[in-house]
């Protein structure tokens, strides 16, 4: 376990150093170097702040809201069919982020729904600059005022979701979305706010997004981070879009290459190097808009809610603990889907976890 934690902490530091190197001549370089030092302190907190058998996830993924202004094809959040529930209030959000920082979480990933529909999350995250916060947005609501919010806090990094060029983005997200996303990138460039891209990679677009010229126009606009997210099937009709094992290896090594002008990260990446699936606290946990602590955004199972128990207690829940203990039994599905939606995981959940 200690070796695994050291490997994960090293991977985080290495990624931040590579990102800082891309910003050495930019105003953001000082902030980037500050994050490197901050991550070292947080990693020490994860190792020493609590009992050795408590896994503190470096990454906290939060669905800030179930609401969204788009209806993207193959959206996993919509496919989960959650019943409408009370979303976390601002005081609850403040408490959660304070607990996450105290525990030693390194980064916060704000997703949705569409997180810009809950801008109070951004305000709360800005109050914790020690948490590197990635805000995943479709970009259609990123107007001038929202761009200024990002400019005011360099610990908040906008990450715009695209599928490729405007045509490819429109095909999945709706007509005109690609143009609106591009306009958002231009607003960020105009006020010198570095941004990231999130690209969902499927069998349909892997060839296009792995071309060396794909990122070039985005880099010219100020892109310094490109996250290539492996597509996870949400139903039987989308199984054919999942990447093959060969495709995943190609994507991983593509992201390892340097020289593109942007830090490239594949997610979840080479999990085998870190002993398999990173969910359930090994690398990340997911918190739903209503506060349910779940092993993964793709597996909506929970036995603890942060409105009822402290975060550190929720991270030791019977569900998460059992998944960690039975981790070796979890294998990715044959179609490339989330391991926590496979047969072994379903058996574990059916046993009353």
* Structure-block tokens of residue 333: 């599905």
Q: What residues does 107 pair with on adjacent strands?
A: 59, 132
Q: Would 17 be classed as within a structural domain?
A: no
pLDDT, tens only, 136-157: 999 999 999 999 999 998 889 9
Looking up residue 219, the CATH number of its domain turns out to be 3.20.20.70
In a domain, 263, yes or no: yes
- pTM of the predicted model, to two decimals? 0.84
User: Is residue 321, in this structure, part of any structural domain at all?
Assistant: yes
Number of separate domains in the chain:
1
pLDDT score at 29? 47
With 0-12 / 13-18 / 19 or more C-beta atoms within 10 angstroms meaning exposed / middle / buried, residue 334 is exposed
Contact assessment for residue 313 and residue 304, using Cβ atoms and an 8 Å cutoff: yes
Domain-located, residue 109: yes
Would 30 be classed as within a structural domain? Answer: no
Domain with 279 in it? 54-350
> Cβ contacts of residue 131 below 8 Å, gap of 6+?
97, 100, 101, 105, 106, 107, 108, 125, 155
Determine, yes or no, domain membership for 293: yes
What is residue 326's three-state secondary structure? Answer: coil
* Domain membership flag for residue 8: no
Handedness of CA 267, 201, 29, 20 (dihedral sign): positive
CA 2 to CA 74: how far, in whole Å? Answer: 38
**Cβ proximity of 123 and 98 under 8 Å:** no
Q: Which of 10-24, 142-156, 257-271 has the lowest mean pLDDT?
A: 10-24
> Could you read off the pLDDT of 275-334 as tens digits, one per residue?
677 787 878 899 999 999 998 887 778 899 999 999 999 999 988 888 877 766 666 555
Identify whether 15 is part of a domain: no
């Amino acid at each position: 376990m200690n070796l695994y934690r050291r490997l994960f902490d090293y991977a985080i530091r290495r990624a931040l150093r590579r990102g800082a190197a891309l910003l050495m001549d930019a105003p953001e370089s000082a902030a980037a170097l500050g994050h490197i030092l901050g991550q070292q302190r947080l990693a020490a907190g994860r190792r020493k702040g609590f009992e050795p058998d408590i896994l503190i996830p470096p990454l906290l993924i939060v669905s800030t809201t179930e609401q969204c202004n788009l209806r993207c094809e193959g959206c996993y959040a919509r496919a989960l069919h959650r019943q409408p529930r009370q979303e976390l209030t601002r005081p609850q959000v403040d408490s959660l982020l304070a607990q996450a920082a105290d525990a030693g979480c390194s980064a916060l990933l704000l997703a949705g729904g569409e997180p810009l529909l809950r801008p109070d999350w951004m305000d709360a995250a800005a109050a914790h600059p020690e948490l590197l916060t990635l805000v995943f947005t479709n970009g259609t609501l990123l107007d001038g005022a929202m761009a200024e919010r990002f400019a005011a806090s360099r610990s908040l990094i906008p990450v715009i979701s695209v599928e490729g060029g405007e045509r490819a983005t429109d095909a999945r997200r709706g007509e005109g979305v690609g143009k609106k996303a591009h306009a958002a990138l231009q607003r960020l460039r105009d006020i010198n706010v570095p941004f990231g891209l999130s690209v969902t990679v499927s069998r349909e677009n892997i060839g296009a997004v792995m071309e060396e010229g794909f990122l070039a126009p985005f880099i010219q606009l100020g892109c310094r981070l490109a996250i290539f997210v492996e597509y996870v099937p949400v139903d039987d009709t989308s199984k054919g879009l999942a990447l093959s094992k060969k495709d995943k290896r190609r994507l991983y090594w593509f992201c390892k290459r340097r020289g593109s002008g942007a830090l490239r990260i594949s997610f979840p990446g080479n999990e085998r190097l870190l002993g398999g699936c990173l969910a359930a606290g090994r690398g990340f946990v997911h918190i739903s808009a209503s506060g349910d602590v779940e092993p993964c955004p793709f597996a909506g199972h929970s036995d603890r809610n942060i409105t009822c128990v402290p975060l550190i207690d929720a991270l030791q829940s019977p569900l998460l603990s059992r998944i960690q203990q039975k981790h070796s039994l979890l294998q990715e599905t044959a179609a490339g889907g989330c391991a926590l939606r496979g047969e072994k995981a379903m058996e574990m959940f059916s046993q009353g976890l």
